[in-house]
Amino acid sequence: MKFKLSQYIHLCTDDDILPSSSLLYSTRSGALLEISNKDIECMKRGEFDALSEKMRKKLIQFEVLVPHAENELLSVLNYNKSQTKDERSLSFTIQPSGNCQLGCHYCGQVHTKKVMKDEVADRMYNRIKEKVINRTGAVESIDITWYGGEPLTGLSSIEHNSKRLISLAEDYNLKYSASIVTNGLILKEELFKKFVLDYKVMNYQITIDGTGEFHDKRRMLKSGNPSFDIIFKNVVTIVNSEFYQSSKAKIAIRCNVDAENKDNVFELIDLLRTNNVLNKVNFYISPIHDWGDNNASKINGISKEEFAQLEIDVFMELLKDGLNANDLVPQRKTYACMVVSETSEVFDAFGNVSTCWEIPLTPSFENTPYISGNLLVDPDIDTTKVLMRDWYNEIPTNETWCKSCKFLPVCAGSCPKEWYSNNPACPSFKFNIDDRLFLSKLQQYEQSVL
C-alpha cells in the first residue's frame, strides 16, 4: 500500500535540547514520538522506504503515515460521528435548582429561588427511562452531572432524583456514575460523605479564584460578604479526612483567571500546598469567557496567548512537586462537547430541555433555538436534530478553520456555540503545544530516573 505523511502531525525541534532528534506529535493518535532528524528528513521527502521496517510500522501504527488515497478530514469526522452514535452510555446534566448564593461578575446566569418540582422530576425521569428502554441491550451506563446555579441549593431534588436514577440503573443492570459542579460553600464533610455513599457522586469540581484577597472580589456572596474562608475550609477538611483517602472520590480545583488574578494563581497553589491539599486534588486554570451576552472577557480580559503562557507556568509549578501535570499532551477527542451526542441533554429546574449547559438560566438564550422545549409543555421533545447536533457534518463547509487545522483530532472543533457566536473556540494547547511536548518529555525522564 502507498502511504503519505499525515496532515495531522506537529513537529517540535530544539537544537539545544534535542540536537539530533525531534519530537513528532500525531494528533490523530495522540502519540508523542522522538525521532532522529535523519528519519524526519526522509519522511518530509516522502522516502518512506529509506526508514527501517520497525520505524515504518511504528509510524503507521500511530497514524503518522496514512494511506495515500485517504481523505483524512472525512476519516477523522466520520470516526467522531460513529462515536457520537455509540449508545453504550447515556449522559444527562441536571439543574436541581435555579438558585446560587454567589454573585460572580463573570456569570451569565440569572438566579431565582427555584427547586425542581415533582412534576418536572417525574417527566424528566420518564424521559430518561424511555431512552434506557429504547436502547435495551445496547446501553451499559448512565452518567449524571449535577449542575447549577448551585446544585447544592436543591438538595431535596438531588436526593429524590438520585434515588430513582440509581434504582433505574440497578433495574436494568447498568453502571451508574455521577459528578457535581459546585461552589463548595455548603459542602461540609458529612454532606460529602452522604453524596459519595448514598448518591454515588464521585467527581467534584469546585472553583476557587485565588487566595481570599482575589477570590472574594470575584466570587462573593450575593450579599457582598466573602466566601473564600468557608469554601477553603470545607476543601481542606474533606481532602485531609480518612474518608476521602479511602473513598476514591476525586476533587478538582478550578481557578478562573483573567488579567486581575492571574499572578495570584501561584499564591493559591502555595496555599493549597501548605494545607496538604495540592497533592490530593486535580488543580487547573481556565480563562474567563463571555457567557451569553455578558462580555465577561472584555473586563480585565486575558488573551489566548497570555493564558497559554500562564498555563505552562502553572504546569511547571505543579511539576516541582512531582505532580503529574494532567493533559500535557492532548489526546484524541471525538466529542466536541455533549451537544454532538444525540442522547445527551440538559434539564433545568423549570423543565426546559437544552443540549448545552450554558443555556439554562441565561436570558440571552430565552426564546431561541438553543432551548429545545419544555417538559411540562411537551414531554416528547425531539432533540436529535436541534442546533449544533450536526456539528461534524458542518465542519467541511462552515466558516471555521477547523477543516484545515492539524489539531482537529484532539480538539474536535472545541465549542460549537462559541463558533456560532463568531468567537473562535481554539483551545490553549494550540498556543503552547511546543512547551507542553517538551514538558511531557521532561516528566517522562524524571519518572524514569526515580
pLDDT in tens, 283-292: 999 999 777 7
Q: Which domain holds residue 17?
A: 3-70
CA–CA gap between residue 273 and residue 270 (Å, rounded): 5
Domain boundary among 320, 350, 372: 320
% the chain with pLDDT above 90: 84
CA–CA gap between residue 286 and residue 255 (Å, rounded): 6
Structure-block grid coordinates of residue 404: 484545515
% the chain with pLDDT above 70: 97
Q: Same structural domain for residues 158 and 52?
A: no
Q: Same structural domain for residues 23 and 138?
A: no
Q: Same structural domain for residues 285 and 167?
A: yes
pLDDT digits (tens, 9 = 90+) for 124-158: 999 999 999 999 889 999 999 999 999 999 999 99
pLDDT digits (tens, 9 = 90+) for 59-83: 999 999 999 999 999 999 999 999 8
Q: Same structural domain for residues 49 and 159?
A: no
Looking at residue 130, its amino acid is E
Q: Same structural domain for residues 102 and 237?
A: yes
Identify the CA nearest to 23 among candidates 407, 447, 329, 402: 329
CA–CA gap between residue 392 and residue 75 (Å, rounded): 11
Cross-strand bridge partners of residue 143: 91, 177
What band does 118 get if pLDDT is binned at 50, 70 and 90?
very high
Whichever domain contains 112, its CATH number is: 3.20.20.70
| Mean per-residue pLDDT, 383-389 | 90
Q: Same structural domain for residues 168 and 112?
A: yes
- pLDDT at position 273: 97
Q: Same structural domain for residues 169 and 36?
A: no
Q: Same structural domain for residues 114 and 63?
A: no
- pLDDT at position 322: 76
CA–CA gap between residue 440 and residue 249 (Å, rounded): 26
Residue 124 within any structural domain of the chain:
yes
| Mean per-residue pLDDT, 223-242 | 98
Q: Cβ(59)–Cβ(28) under 8 Å?
A: no
| Mean per-residue pLDDT, 415-439 | 92
Residue 348 within any structural domain of the chain:
no
Domain boundary among 279, 294, 320: 320
54 dihedral zone (left: phi>0; alpha: psi -120 to 50; beta): alpha
Residues listed for the chain:
450
Residue 444 within any structural domain of the chain:
no
| Mean per-residue pLDDT, 4-14 | 96
CA–CA gap between residue 97 and residue 156 (Å, rounded): 10
Residue 336 within any structural domain of the chain:
no
Q: Is the per-residue pLDDT at 324 higher than 70?
A: no
Q: Same structural domain for residues 58 and 193?
A: no
If one counts the domains in the chain, the total is 2
Structure-block grid coordinates of residue 403: 477543516
Q: Same structural domain for residues 227 and 306?
A: yes
Residue 445 within any structural domain of the chain:
no
Residue 163 within any structural domain of the chain:
yes
Three-point CA angle 335, 337, 338, nearest 5°: 100
Residue 395 within any structural domain of the chain:
no
Identify the CA nearest to 182 among candidates 264, 257, 100: 100
In sequence order, what are the residues at sequence separation of 6 or more whose Cβ sits closer than 8 angstroms to the Cβ of residue 41?
none
Say which DSSP state 152 is in. Answer: G
- pLDDT at position 443: 78
| Mean per-residue pLDDT, 391-400 | 94
CA–CA gap between residue 404 and residue 395 (Å, rounded): 10
Higher-pLDDT residue of 400 and 424 is 400
CA–CA gap between residue 323 and residue 160 (Å, rounded): 38
What band does 297 get if pLDDT is binned at 50, 70 and 90?
low
Q: Same structural domain for residues 141 and 246?
A: yes
Domain boundary among 302, 320, 338: 320
Q: Same structural domain for residues 142 and 55?
A: no
Residue 209 within any structural domain of the chain:
yes
- pLDDT at position 445: 65
